[in-house]
């Protein structure tokens, strides 16, 4: 399939830090790509960069290219970018209560997207808004059009955000930690809904999460990010079954596991020592200071991303494929 999104040499700089120094990846039509990593690895910043919603003191590097449907939007004038957002590419943010307008009814917020990007009349947009709220399984959708965000539960607010995001049938949907504030049952419902909509609308989905169980069950392809760099990329079965990069192995060792009988493994959780520090301007692998197997070669130059076979790529000169610790993650 053709790539809906082709990101090349993305770099994001602040006055005193470069949290994303060089990142490249693609997403195909109808594909779910997951970005995983610790807090501070650059996942959410990458999402904001794709939507051109970075903070005012952040800048894209001059070599950054964000090709959406073959068009470079990295330097697109803001009026043109506003027409693109919500219509062709949309984003679901982490916390819907801060993303939805608290003094505007949810029906109006969904309808506003339809009026702006689809050219519908106010009446037609309201009717379609009710259909969208019903599509995302808001109970009694027609009666809830005039309700305000605070009158909905956390899971329902997230569904409203999804309705707003898919209103104009975007080709790309970015979901940044879409289930973080929800309980486990609601998380599963939201993820099932996103996957169903992805298939029905044939849209690409960029799923940003720290929950490896979510990734194992719902992603077609996984990229592990560390300090804004891609350290491993593979299908979930490979990256969770035989993780190759020491960082990916560390993420799995630090995550609870469910066995095939749906009981948690008795294996201990092993934390990765230290924390992420921006490695911009430094030579070598940014994970080297925390890596248990780092060598002089790791500190001398940033390892290239090399193929391991079957679509598995790893940036590590001392790569050793091994089975994931404590059994398999959820969904495998």
208/206 Cα distance (integer angstroms): 6
The CA distances from residue 228 to 23, 34, 295, in Å, are: 7, 14, 21
Tokens of 260: 């095939």
33/321 Cα distance (integer angstroms): 22
Indicate the pLDDT class of residue 325, thresholds 50, 70 and 90: low
More confident position, 260 or 233? 233
DSSP 8-state assignment for residue 90: E
Alpha carbon 29 to its chain's center = 16
pLDDT tens digits, one per residue of 135-162: 998 999 999 999 999 999 988 998 999 9
pLDDT tens digits, one per residue of 97-132: 778 999 999 999 999 999 999 999 999 999 999 999
- Which pLDDT score is estimated for 7? 97
- Which pLDDT score is estimated for 148? 96
43 within 8 A of 208, measured Cβ to Cβ: yes
Question: How much of the chain exceeds pLDDT 90, in percent?
Answer: 61
The CA distances from residue 164 to 7, 14, 145, in Å, are: 25, 31, 13
95/88 Cα distance (integer angstroms): 22
Would the pTM count as exceeding 0.95?
Answer: no
**Alpha-carbon dihedral sign for residues 260, 262, 266, 270:** positive
246/232 Cα distance (integer angstroms): 10
93 within 8 A of 161, measured Cβ to Cβ: yes
Tokens of 159: 């569904």
Dihedrals φ, ψ of 158, to 5°? -65, -35
Helix (H) or strand (E) holding 161: helix 154-166
Nearest to 125 by CA among 144, 107, 100: 107
- Which pLDDT score is estimated for 124? 96
The answer on pLDDT for 303 being more than 80 is yes
- Range 54-73 average pLDDT: 95
Dihedrals φ, ψ of 12, to 5°? -125, 125
pLDDT tens digits, one per residue of 273-292: 888 876 555 788 999 999 99
Virtual CA dihedral for 62, 64, 70, 72, nearest 10 degrees? Answer: -40
- Which pLDDT score is estimated for 183? 78
130 within 8 A of 145, measured Cβ to Cβ: yes
305 within 8 A of 318, measured Cβ to Cβ: no
pLDDT tens digits, one per residue of 206-230: 999 888 878 888 899 999 999 999 9
- Residue 98 DSSP SS3: helix
User: How does the average pLDDT of the chain come out, rounded?
Assistant: 87
- Which pLDDT score is estimated for 216? 85
- Which pLDDT score is estimated for 326? 46
Give the neighbor-by-neighbor strand order of the sheet with 229-234: 89-92, 172-176, 204-208, 32-36, 221-226, 229-234, 312-314, 306-309
């Amino acid at each position: 399939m053709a790539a809906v999104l082709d990101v090349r040499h993305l770099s994001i700089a602040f006055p005193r830090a470069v949290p994303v120094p060089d990142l490249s990846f693609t997403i195909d039509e109808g594909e779910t790509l997951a970005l995983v990593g610790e807090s501070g690895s650059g996942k959410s910043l990458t999402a904001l960069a794709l939507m051109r919603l970075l903070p005012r003191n952040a800048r894209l590097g001059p070599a950054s290219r964000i090709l959406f449907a073959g068009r470079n939007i990295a330097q697109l004038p803001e009026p043109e970018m506003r027409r693109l957002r919500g219509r062709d590419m949309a984003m679901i943010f982490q916390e819907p209560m801060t993303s939805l307008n608290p003094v505007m009814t949810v029906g109006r917020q969904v309808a506003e997207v339809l009026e702006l990007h689809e050219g519908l009349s106010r009446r037609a947009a309201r009717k379609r808004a009710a259909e969208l709220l019903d599509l995302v399984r808001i109970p009694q959708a027609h009666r809830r059009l005039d309700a305000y965000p605070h009158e909905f539960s956390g899971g329902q607010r997230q569904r409203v955000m999804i309705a707003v995001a898919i209103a104009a049938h975007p080709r790309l949907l970015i979901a940044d930690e879409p289930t973080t504030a929800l309980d486990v049952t609601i998380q599963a419902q939201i993820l099932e809904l996103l996957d169903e909509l992805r298939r029905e609308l044939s849209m690409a989905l960029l799923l940003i999460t720290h929950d490896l169980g979510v990734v194992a069950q719902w992603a077609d392809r996984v990229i592990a990010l560390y300090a804004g760099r891609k350290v491993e990329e593979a299908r979930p079965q490979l990256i969770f079954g035989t993780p190759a990069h020491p960082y990916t192995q560390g993420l799995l060792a630090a995550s609870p596991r469910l066995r095939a009988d749906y009981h948690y493994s008795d294996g201990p959780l092993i934390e990765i020592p230290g924390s992420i520090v921006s490695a911009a301007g430094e030579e070598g692998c940014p994970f080297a200071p925390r890596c248990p197997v780092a060598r002089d070669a790791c500190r001398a130059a940033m390892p290239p991303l090399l193929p391991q076979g079957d679509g598995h790529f790893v940036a590590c000169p001392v790569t050793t494929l091994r089975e994931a610790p404590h059994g398999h993650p959820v969904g495998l």
